[in-house]
Amino acid sequence: MLSERMLKALNKQVNAELYSAYLYLSMSAYFESINLKGFANWMRVQAQEELMHAMKFFDYINERGGRVEMMAIEKPPTGWDSPLHVFEETYKHEVNVTNMINELVNMAVEEKDHATYNMLQWFVAEQVEEEASADEIKQQLSLIGKDGRGILMLDRELGQRTFTPLQEVK
């Protein structure tokens, strides 16, 4: 059974993960609007991953006898100055999500909630990957600068990304 404090925090994280999906869909729409379909694809796949993360928390809350409470999802931004600006914001967002996951881990330790601590370790590892991925693209865009050919090459590469749902989502 989850403590009331942990339940509230996990429900807040469900909302945060859903917001992340909204944010990445908004970024995908931005990239579609400037005809960078590969970048749009990358963000769409990222949105699917965030939905999977939300469902992982959703299922965990239910498995532990808690009640999932759906909250309003904040409207994400809809415009950016450049692909680099999008990935700077993506990286900052992932760092913020990492901080939220770390706070949940700290709470699980404080409450001696070993099951939640164990479940959160998947997210700790996932956030290392999320930050590294966003940072890598941000750094590549910094090197490319405003070179349209470089952006088009990266667009083709990002268009190859596919969503692969995890078998062990729970």
Q: What is the pLDDT of residue 170?
A: 43
Amino acid (one-letter) located at 125? A
Q: What is the pLDDT of residue 164?
A: 85
Domain boundaries, the chain: 4-158
| pLDDT tens, N- to C-terminus, the chain (170 residues) | 899 999 999 999 999 999 999 999 999 999 999 999 999 999 999 999 999 999 999 999 999 999 999 999 999 999 999 999 999 999 999 999 999 999 999 999 999 999 999 999 999 999 999 999 999 999 999 999 888 899 999 999 999 899 888 654 44
Contact 107, 3 (CB under 8 A): no
Q: What is the pLDDT of residue 118?
A: 98
Q: What is the pLDDT of residue 81?
A: 96
- What CATH fold (topology level) applies to the domain 4-158? Ferritin (1.20.1260)
DSSP 34-98: TT-HHHHHHHHHHHHHHHHHHHHHHHHHHHTT------PPPPPP---SSHHHHHHHHHHHHHHHH
